[in-house]
Structure 1
Amino acid sequence: MGDFHPHGDAAIYDAMARLSQDFTIRYPLVDGQGNFGNIDGDNPAASRYTEARMTVMAEALLNGLDENAVDFRPNYDGRLEEPSVLPASYPNLLANGSSGIAVGMATNIPPHNIGELINACLHLIKSPNAVDDTLMQYVPGPDFPTGGVIVEPAENIANAYRTGRGSIRLRARWHVEDLGRGQWQAIVTEIPYQVQKSKLVERIAEVIQIKKVPILADVRDESAEDVRMVLEPKSKNVDPDVLMNALFRNTDLETRFSLNMNVLIDGVTPRVCSLKECLRAFLDFRRDVLIRRSKHRMAKIDNRLEVLEGLIIAFLNLDRVIDIIRYDDDPKAALMYEDWSKPHQATIVRATDESDYQSPLAGIDVKALELHDDPNAVARGVLLDEDGPATIPRRFSGRSEGLSDVQAEAILNMRLRSLRRLEELELVNERNALMEERAGLEDLMDSEDMQWGQVKDQLQEVKKQFTKDYDRGQRLTTFAEATETEDVPLEAMIEREPVTVVCSQMGWIRAMTGHIDLNRELKFKDGDGPRFIFHAETTDKLLVFGSNGRFYTVMAANLPGGRGMGEPLRLMVDLPNDVEILDIMIHRPGQRLIVASSAGDGFIVPEDDVVAQTRSGKQVLNVRTPTRALVCKPVTGNAVAVVGENRKLLVFMLDELPEMGRGKGVRMQKYKDGGMSDARTFTLEAGLSWQDPAGRTRTVTGEELAEWTAKRAGAGRMAPRGFPRDNKFN
C-alpha cells in the first residue's frame, strides 16, 4: 500500500482475496490459508485471520523480472520503480480472463484452459497465417472455474472469437438420481460462472412459491465442499428435461456470458481483438522477453568473463600477485598498472610425491620440464628435485596492459582457500562454459528461427508444468447440445381444479376451492365488501383492466387460498394506487374486446393481444388525464350501443369501429358536455335489452331502434323511457 497501491488496505485485501478463490479465478494466483469466502457469496474473513502466499502460477508470471525482461516505470510517488507489465510465461489475460469498465469502454474476457491456449500458440508459431477457425480446433471455447456445460453452437463461439464480441450460453451440470419405485430427483453438481449459489437457491424457492414452475415441488441445498442442489419434482411422471428446461428459462441455472475482448495490444490504445490477435500479441511479447533476457544474460557473461580473465592471470602469476599484495602500498593500483607480459623469476615448491602434475594453464608436463630444463618454458608446476626448492626462470603469459578495475577488485577479494590447485580447473571450465553459452546466445540473437524455437520450448515446458501434473489443469467446462423441449404452456403444468375468484372493493383477491354459490355471504375486512366474484379454474389466466388503460395478467393458480382475506392485487402486479380496477375477466383465446374511454373514444382489440408477460402489464388504451378508461367488455353481435352522461343513446354498426392492438381509438359518440357513461355490443336483430329500476328486463327491437341508429360519432337521442337512471346497460 505504501509503495505501489495507494488506495487503502480494504481494496488491496479484496483484490488479493479474489485472486485466491478457485470458484472465481480459473488458475488462482494466491494460495490462501483461512476463510477466503465461498461460492455462496460469503465474504472473506478479516485480514488479521488469514495468510497468503503466491502460487506457482503467480511465480510463472514473474519469471525473468530481474533480468530486464520488461520496462519499468516510476511508482505513484516516484520513489521506486514498478514493472509496466509482467513477463508472463503464459497468456494470463486469456487463461484467467478479465472484466472491467473504464470511461466509455468495457471488457469482458472469459477464462480458458491453459493447455489449449498453449497448443494454439504452438500452432501459430508453426503456421503464422493460421485462420481463426483453425485455432478453434485447439481452443473450442472458454473453460470456467465452476465447470458447467456450454450449450452455445460452435459456429456462434467461432464467430465470437473471430470478431471479439458475442455471447456464450452456459448451463448448470445436472443428472437424475434414482430413488427407487419410479421416484427420482435432479441433482445439480456445477452451477454457471459468477452465480452465487445461495441466491440461486433463493430464486428457485421463489419460483416454487409463485408457482411459475408448478411441476417443481422443493429445492434443497446439500452442498459441503462440493456443490449439491436437490430438485424434487411434484410428480414422478414429470419429464426431467421438461423440468430442467423450465428452470433454465426462469432461473440462473442457465446464463449468458457476454464476450467483449477489448484489450490494449500496444499498452495504450484499446481495441476489440480476435482470439488470433490476442495470441499473436502474446507470442510477439514472449519473443521480445526472450531477446531482452538474452541480452541481459550476455552482459552478465561478459562481466563474469572479465573477472575470470583476471583470476586466471592471477593464477598464472600467483607468486608475483602475492608479492604485490603483501608489499605494495596500493596493491589495487599496482595490479591495474602492472605489465603482466614480462618474464620474472618464480619459486617452485618441493613435490610431496613423485606423481605427474599437469598444469591446466600451461599444459606442460613437469617430468618433461625436469628432463629438458628449458629456461624459457612457460609453466608453473612441481619440479621433482630431491635437493629442495629450486628456482627456475619462467615467462608469465598474460596481457601486456594492466588489469581492469573489476579484475583487480576480484583478485583482492579472492579468499586464500581459492588458491588451491583445483581452482585452476574450475576457472578454466567455467570460462569455457560461459564462452560456449555466449556463442549460443549470439547465434540465438542472429536467428529468428532459433528464437521461435526457444519460445516454443518454453511454452511446452509451461504446458507440461500446468496441465498434466497440475491440480486444475484438466478442462472443467464441457460442451453439449442444448436439449430443448417444446415450450410447455404453464396451464399444462398446473393441475386443473375449479376455483371461485373473489375480489373485494379495496382490491383484495383470493381463490376459494371449488365453485361455490355466487350469492353466498363471504367475509371481508372492515369497511370492505364484494366487487367481483366468478367461477374459474386453476389453469385460467385472469385479465385485469385498469382505469389507466393497461391490462394486467394473473394466473388463477397463483392466487392466495380462500381461508383468509386474500392479498392485495396491487402487490401481485404493478398496479398504481391511483388506478381503479375496472374489470377482472377470464382470458378466452380468440375472443375480442371493446375498450373505450370516458371521452367517448374506443376500438376493438383481440383478447390475445392484451395478455401481459410482465408484472407491469400491457398498455392498450391510451388515455391522458383527466380522461380515463371506462369500458372493457367482450364483443358479441354486430352493433354497438353508446350512452353518454347526458342520457343520449347512439346505436351504430360494429364494423364502423376499427380493430387495433393499441391506441386512443376513434370517436364513438360526440358530446357537448360531460362524456361517455357506458357502451356495449349486441345483435341488432335481437334488439337492445336492459333492466329497468323494477328489475324487469326491457328490450327495444331492431325496428324500434331505428330512431337511435345512426353513423358513428353522432350525438344520439335521448334514451327510451324506462332506461336506468345510472345510465348503465347492466
Structure 2
Amino acid sequence: MSSEPEMPDDVADRIENVRVEDEMEQSYIDYAMSVIAGRALPDVRDGLKPVHRRILYAMHEAGISSGSGHRKSSSIVGETMGNFHPHGDSAIYDTLVRMAQDFSMRHPLVDGQGNFGSVDGDPAAAMRYTEARMAPIAEELLSDIEKDTVDFQANYDDRLQEPTVLPAAFPNLLVNGSSGIAVGMSTNVPPHNLGEIIDATIHLIEDPACTIPDLMEYVEGPDFPTGATIVGRNSIRKAYQTGRARLTVRADYHVEQTDSGSDRIILDELPYQQNKSKLVERIAEMANEGTLEGIRDLRDESDRDGIRVVVELKRGANTDVVENRLLESVLEQTFGVINLALVDGEPRVLSLKEMLEEYLEHRKEVVRRRSEYELAEAEEREHILKGRLLALDHIEEVVETIRNSEDRDAAKDALRETFEFTQMQAEHIVRMQLGSLTSLEAAEIEAEYEEVQATIERLETILANESELLGVIKEELREIRAEYADDRRTSIVEDMGEVTDEDLIPNEEVVVTLSEHDYIKRVPVETFSSQHRGGKGIIGADLKEGDRIATVFTAQTHDDLLCFTDQGQVYRLKVYQIPEMSRTARGTSAVNLLNLDDEEEINAVVATDDFEDGEYLTMATRDGYVKRTGVENFENILSTGIIAISLEDADELVDVEVTNGASDIVLGTETGMAIRFDETDVRSMGRNARGVRGIKLEEGDRVAGVSAIRETDDRNLLTVTRRGYGKRTPLSEYRPQSRNGKGLVDIKTAERNGRVAAIEAVEDSDHVIAMSEGGQLTRIPVAEISSVGRNTKGVHVMDIETGDRLAGISVFPEPEA
C-alpha cells in the first residue's frame, strides 16, 4: 500500500494560504498596471508611449537620422522588436505608420517614403515596401540623450539599456497629442500648435503663478493636423481647466455657383480622424434614402494638394437648408478630450497648467543633468589644458626628462615627480606630438583654455541659479519655435447653440405660385417692382403647355403655413422648404413637398405664427357653407394632411380666414353679391363637420372668397374680377345681416369685367400681387385702385390678354424702406 511522500519542513514553511478572490484581484491589478504603464498611456514628460519611444531610440541607435538615407521599415521594425519591444511586428509597424502620417500627427516624427495610408482609411503598404527615417523635429526629442540627461533601464532580456523617457526639447504630449485605451481608463489628448504651446510654456516660466485663463491668452485651443473648425470656446475652457470635455469639430466648406445657376458645396477640411470615404458614402446614402434632399451629384476630387469633396445641388434647392442638414448629420464630430497621462508612473487627469508644469520639471532635470555632464567634461578638459600649458612653460626640461627615461611609464613617473603633474596630465603629455610644440599651437591651447574656463563658469552659474537654468530652457524653446512652428490650421468659432434651418435663411417676403400641374416655387417679392394699375405686368412663371396658375400668395420665408385644398384637406408647410427660383422658372413638383392627391389644388393659405388662444379658422365653400373651428384642432398635422372640413355634393373649399370670436364675416360671390354677418352666428364645430349656410346663392352663382373684419374697421373691401377689373369700397357700406341671406350687390359683373375672382379687406398702404392663369404677374399699390361705391363695375387693375383670366390675388403690407 503506497503512501504520499512527506513534504520537507522548509518547503511547507514557504507555502502560504491565499483566498482565490484575493489572488485574482491582485493579479488583475498587476496586469492592469502593466498595461497602463507599459503599453497604453503616454508619459507626461515626453508625450510618448513605450512603443513610440523605443522606435525612435532604435532609429537613433541605428543612425537613421533626418540626414541619413531612408531605411526599409521592416528593418526598423526588426531592430525595435529584437532589441527593445518584444511584441508583434504589426503593432510596431502600425505605430511607425501613424508617426509618419501628416493627417494623424500635427508634427510627424517619422519621415516616410511610400504608401503610409490615407484619410480614406486605406492601410499602409506592407513594411517591406515602405521606407522611413526620423523627421528633424523627432531629433529634438532625443537631443542630448547621450549626456546622461535621462535614466536608462535594462531592455527585456538584459542585453541592452533603453531610456525610460526621452529628453524632449518641446512639450510633445500637447503638440502631437495622444490616444489610447488602457484597463478601465483611456486617454485622448488633442494636438496643439507648437508655437502657441511654447509661448504658453515660456509664460509659465516667467509667471509660475499664472492661471489657466492667462495661459489661454497664448493657447487658443487644439490645432488639428486636418484643420477644420472647433465650435464653442466654453468646451475648450473646460478641457483646459478639468482635463475633460467634449469638443464639437466641424468640417470647413464653401459654396460655389455653377454656370447653370445651381450651387455646389465644396468640403475643404474634415474633422480630425474622420474617414473621408465613409463620409462620402454616408452623404450618398442619405441622398438615396431621401433624408437629404436637393443633391444632384456627389464627387470626391481630393488629391495630394488637399481635400475637395463636391456636393452638387439641384436647381432651386435651398442651399442653406442642405448645409444645415449636412452639419447635423455628417459634417460635425465630437472629440472627447481626456488629458490622462503618466505622472511618476501613475495615471492622472491633468489640466493645461499641470501638463506644462510637469513638462517643465522634466526639462529642468534634463538641463541640470546635461549641465553637470558638460561641466565634468569641461573640468576634465581644463585639467588637461592646464597640464599642457605647464609643459609648454618648461618645454626643454619636459623634453629632456622624457628623453632620459627608459620607457613611457618611467617618463610619466618622472614628469609627476619633477613637475607635480597628475597621472592624467602626465599620460597626455607623453602622447603629445612634436608638432604641438609650435608657438601657434601654444596660442590655440591658451585660447581653448580660456574658452573652457568661460564654459565652466557659465555651467556653474546655471547649476547654482535656477533662473539661469530656466533662461536656458526658454532660449532653447524659442529656437525650436523659430525652426518648426507654423500657422494655426484649426479655427475656432463661438457656439451659437442649435442651428435650425430658419437660422440660416433670411426672413423675407416672398411670392409663392402653384400651378394646376403642381409646380411650385417662391420668388422674393422685391423681384417684382411696383407698377401702375392697368398694365400687363411681367412674366411670373414659364408654364408648360396646358398648365395654368392655380394659386398665388405672399408669405414670410419663416412662416409655418396651413395649406387648405379645394377638397377640404389641410397640410403644414414651411415656406423656406419651397425652392427659391428665378422669376421665369417653372418651379419644382409639389409632390416633393406635399402629398397632394390628383386634381387637388391649394385654395387658401394661413400663417400659424399669428395664432392666439381663442382664435378660429373660418372656412367658406363654393356652395355657400361656412364653418368655424378652433385653431387648437390644427396643432398636429400629419405629413399626409388631415381633414379640415367635410364636403358634400362636389362642393369645394374656397377660402379661409382667422377670426377672434368677435369679428364679422364677409362672403363675396362670383356674380358680385356680398353678405356681412356676425361670426357667432356660426357655432364652433369640429374638423369633420360640414358647417352651416352662410349665404343663399342664386342659381349658377358660387362663393369667391371670405374676409374677416371688425365692427369699427375703417378698411376697404377690395374686389377683383377674372378679367382684371377691381375696386375698393369702404366696409361701412356693407351693413350687417343675418347669415343665409342673399346679401347686397358688391360689384356689377358683366362680360367686360367678368365674374369675381377674390375679395380681401385692405389698408390704403397695402400692396397687391395679381397673377393670371397664364403666368403674367403684376404688383400694384392698393392706393392706385379707386375707392368707389358698391354698385359699380370697377376700374382696370391688370390688362388680361384674350383667353387668359385672373388666377388670384395676394395682399401684403408695404415693405419697410
For the aligned pair, the TM-score class normalised by the smaller chain equals 0.5 to 0.7
1:179 corresponds to which of 258, 269, 286: 258
* Deviation, structure 1 residue 181: 5.1
* Deviation, structure 1 residue 538: 12
* Deviation, structure 1 residue 108: 0.4
* CA distance 1:53–1:608, change in 2 (3 Å): farther
1:470-481 to 2 correspondence within 5 Å? 473-481=486-494
1:340-359 Cα shifts (integer Å, max 9, x gaps): 66xxxxxxxxxxxxxxxxxx
2:364 corresponds to which of 272, 278, 287: 287
1:209-248 to 2 correspondence within 5 Å? 209-225=288-304, 226-238=306-318, 240-248=319-327
Contact 1:211 1:557 in 2 (8 A): no
Contact 2:387 2:421 in 1 (8 A): no
* Deviation, structure 1 residue 309: 2.2
1:559-614 Cα shifts (integer Å, max 9, x gaps): xxxxxxxxxxxxxxxxxxxxxxxxxxxxxxxxxxxxxxxxxxxxxxx9999x9xxx
2:385 corresponds to which of 303, 308, 315: 308
Structure 2 counterpart of 1:156 = 235
Structure 2 counterpart of 1:68 = 148
Contact 1:177 1:185 in 2 (8 A): yes
Q: Secondary structure at the match of 1:454?
A: helix
1:265 corresponds to which of 337, 343, 347: 343
1:486 corresponds to which of 500, 515, 519: 500
* Deviation, structure 1 residue 180: 3.5
Q: Secondary structure at the match of 1:14?
A: helix
* Deviation, structure 1 residue 8: 3.2
* Deviation, structure 1 residue 161: 0.8
* Deviation, structure 1 residue 498: 12
1:392-411 to 2 correspondence within 5 Å? 399=419, 401-404=420-423, 406-411=424-429
Contact 2:263 2:314 in 1 (8 A): no
1:38 corresponds to which of 96, 115, 118: 118
* CA distance 1:31–1:537, change in 2 (3 Å): farther
Contact 2:416 2:426 in 1 (8 A): no
Contact 1:113 1:475 in 2 (8 A): yes
| Inter-partner Cα distance in structure 2 for 1:126 and 1:403 | 45
Asked if 1:199 is matched to 2:278, the reply is yes
* Deviation, structure 1 residue 175: 0.4
1:24-423 to 2 correspondence within 5 Å? 24-151=104-231, 153-180=232-259, 182-225=261-304, 226-238=306-318, 240-251=319-330, 253-266=331-344, 268-338=345-415, 399=419, 401-404=420-423, 406-423=424-441
Contact 1:175 1:188 in 2 (8 A): yes
* Deviation, structure 1 residue 464: 1.0
Moved over 3 A (4+): 319-327, 336-341, 481-485, 495-499, 536-540, 606-609
1:558-637 to 2 correspondence within 5 Å? none
| Inter-partner Cα distance in structure 2 for 1:299 and 1:41 | 52
| Inter-partner Cα distance in structure 1 for 2:516 and 2:198 | 61
Contact 1:496 1:537 in 2 (8 A): no
Contact 1:332 1:408 in 2 (8 A): no
* Deviation, structure 1 residue 142: 0.3
| Inter-partner Cα distance in structure 2 for 1:608 and 1:293 | 76
| Inter-partner Cα distance in structure 1 for 2:219 and 2:465 | 30
Q: Secondary structure at the match of 1:25?
A: coil
Contact 1:324 1:335 in 2 (8 A): no
Contact 2:412 2:427 in 1 (8 A): no
* Deviation, structure 1 residue 237: 4.2
* Deviation, structure 1 residue 339: 5.1
Which amino acid in structure 2 is aligned with residue 136 of structure 1?
A: M
Asked if 1:448 is matched to 2:461, the reply is no
| Inter-partner Cα distance in structure 2 for 1:122 and 1:2 | 40
* CA distance 1:77–1:241, change in 2 (3 Å): farther
* CA distance 1:539–1:55, change in 2 (3 Å): farther
| Inter-partner Cα distance in structure 1 for 2:447 and 2:570 | 96
Structure 1 counterpart of 2:66 = none
| Inter-partner Cα distance in structure 2 for 1:415 and 1:45 | 57
| Inter-partner Cα distance in structure 1 for 2:499 and 2:416 | 94
Relative to the length of structure 2, the TM-score reads: 0.51
Which amino acid in structure 2 is aligned with residue 73 of structure 1?
A: Q
| Inter-partner Cα distance in structure 2 for 1:76 and 1:538 | 74
* Deviation, structure 1 residue 475: 0.6
Q: Secondary structure at the match of 1:119?
A: helix
Contact 1:21 1:37 in 2 (8 A): yes
| Inter-partner Cα distance in structure 2 for 1:215 and 1:488 | 17
1:322-369 Cα shifts (integer Å, max 9, x gaps): 34444423323432454566xxxxxxxxxxxxxxxxxxxxxxxxxxxx
| Inter-partner Cα distance in structure 2 for 1:537 and 1:13 | 64
* Deviation, structure 1 residue 299: 0.5
Which amino acid in structure 2 is aligned with residue 189 of structure 1?
A: D
Q: Secondary structure at the match of 2:258?
A: strand
Relative to the length of structure 1, the TM-score reads: 0.57
Unaligned runs of 5+ in 1: 342-398, 468-472, 490-494, 500-535, 541-555, 559-605, 612-633, 635-682, 684-730
Contact 1:498 1:538 in 2 (8 A): no
1:461 corresponds to which of 466, 472, 479: 479
